[in-house]
Amino acid sequence: MKKAASLLVLAIMLVAFSGLASAQTELSLWYHGAGNETERSILLGIIDDFNALQSDYAVVLEEFPQESYNSSIVAAALAGDLPDIIDVDGPVMPGWAWAGYMVPLNLSEGALDDFLPGAIGTWNGDVYSVGLWDAAVALLALESTLDAHGIRVPTLDAPWTGEEFDDILEQLQATGDYEYALDLGMAWTGEWYPYAFSPLLQSFGGDMIDRDTYLSAEGVLNGDEAVAFGEWWQSLFERGLAAGTSQDGADRETCFIDQTCAVQWNGNWAGLGALEAHGDDLLFLPAPDFGAGSTIGAASWQFGISSASENPEGASAFIEFAIQDEYLAAFSDGIGLIPATSSAAAISEYYSEGGPLEVFYGLSNEQALVRPVTPGYATMALIFEKALADIANGADVLDTLDAAVDEIDQDIEDNGGYGFEM
């Protein structure tokens, strides 16, 4: 008894002085979630567990606001001040890996077997990053709306065809009940454009770049399929079916909830709010198929190891620790994201069988296509965004796509192929 008490005192003292006397090596972790209390507490929970369960490393969290996280990382890299573990947005990872900011993960065999493809970040044959979740996009609509207008409910196996989709929008717009039949979220400038809209282009048969060589967008972003997509895209706004680039953020966030738009193209993170407003009436529908299949974007925030880390094996150990199902499910329950494994989905609140967002797991698993895996993506994404905005505002489709292709190709050339064989 006495011995136990003195052990306890010793333990308390050890904990109290751990800051001074700890044998644990500090690993810094930078995270993009500043301002999100839920994310913070879940992540801190993982870190505490990790720090308590082994004695070699102590992870320390620094948080940054998401909007400017990438700038903070780039600035730190320029100044030679990177942390050990960084989190990185999926499509940005190849750029950082190529630039030497990151080193490959060193996970044990089979650690990622059950993972959604979009949650694994691969570059040059190596896994550089892994996500605890993925995100997915779906069409939101009310069952009652579809029923009232005799519109069939599409499924993963039989999504709406492009023509069908177009007719439905026309039909809904003609009812006069809505400001716009479709809300695409044009207010969300930035990454939303390539993430949410390039899958539509892909469904037409085009793409942002030729994925065989990753050296040119010629014929892919300005080929016949891409032009067909561009014409359709432009017509959405010309016909007044969707709000254009000047949409304000408020309309984006309220239109579906207030039913001033009938169909909304939105991410799973908006699912909970919509469910609250519409309950069982709410449907999450797969993207329409414009001929080359129905597809959505993939890859969200992931963890990787910085090249500045003196303890990459410790960083790997932490990441491997963090990708346990229990934590994946915790993140999902906390902020509504899609758990990266089916076993985590099964124990999660929203994505388990019969869960309200279950359908998104299916979408992610079956339809997701990652954005172009190249260091040139960051630049390409901005060029693509501008092209879509210009076309939406009435610019000549072919000329605009030509210009985008020229700029993308020029950028690739200026960068010596971004690591691809020229």
Instruction: Provide the residue type at 263 as one letter.
Output: V
Q: Which is nearer to another protein, 188 or 232 (CB)?
A: 188
Structure tokens belonging to residue 224: 């016949």
CA distances from 351 to 131, 307, 335, 343, 347 (A): 17, 35, 12, 10, 8
Q: Which is nearer to another protein, 292 or 335 (CB)?
A: 335
Minimum distance, C-beta of residue 39 to another protein, in the bound complex (Å): 9
Nearer to another protein, 243 or 340 (CB): 243
The token pair at 151 is 């519109």
Burial (CB count <10 Å: 0-12, 13-18, 19+), residue 382: middle
Give the DSSP letter string of 146-186.
HHHTTPPPP-SSSPPBHHHHHHHHHHHHHTSS-SEEEE--T
* C-alpha–C-alpha distance, residues 345 and 323, integer Å: 13
Task: Provide the 10 A C-beta neighbour count for residue 181.
Answer: 22
Least spacing, CB of residue 269 vs another protein, in Å: 4
d(CA 54, CA 310): 18
In angstroms, give the least distance from the CB of 149 to another protein. Answer: 23
Grouping H, G, I as helix, E, B as strand and the rest as coil, residue 99 is coil
Pick the closer one to another protein by CB: 224 or 399: 399
CB of 41 to another protein, least distance (A): 12
Q: What angle do CA 75, 80, 81 make, to 5 degrees?
A: 75
**Which is nearest to 242 in space by CA: 268, 261, 266, 270?**
261
Judged by CB, which is closer to another protein: 25, or 189? Answer: 189
Q: Residue 24 CB, nearest distance to another protein (Å)?
A: 20
Nearer to another protein, 171 or 307 (CB): 307
| φ, ψ of residue 62 in degrees (nearest 5) | -125, 130
Determine contact, residues 214/123, Cβ cutoff 8 Å: no
Q: How far is the CB of 402 from another protein (least distance, A)?
A: 6
Q: Which amino acid is present at 106?
A: N
Cβ proximity of 338 and 116 under 8 Å:
yes
For another protein, give the closer residue by CB, 246 or 343: 246
CA 86 vs CA 219, 313, 337: distances in Å: 36, 14, 20
Pairing of strands 301-306, 102-103: antiparallel
Residue among 112 and 236 whose Cβ is closer to another protein: 236
Identify the helix (H) or strand (E) that includes residue 360: helix 358-367
Q: Which two structure tokens, joined as six digits, stand for 391?
A: 């076309």
R_g of the chain computed on alpha carbons = 23
Closer by beta carbon to another protein, 273 or else 293: 273
Residue 163 or 399 having the CB closest to another protein = 399
Q: Residue 151 or residue 208: which is nearer to another protein going by CB?
A: 208
Q: How far is the CB of 150 from another protein (least distance, A)?
A: 28
Sites of contact with another protein (CB under 8 A): 30, 34-37, 62-68, 71-72, 74-81, 95-96, 98-101, 179, 189, 243-251, 253-254, 257-258, 267, 269-270, 273, 335, 375, 378-379, 382-383, 386, 389-390, 393-395, 398-399, 402-403, 406, 410-411, 414-416
Is residue 83 within 8 Å of 304, Cβ to Cβ?
A: no
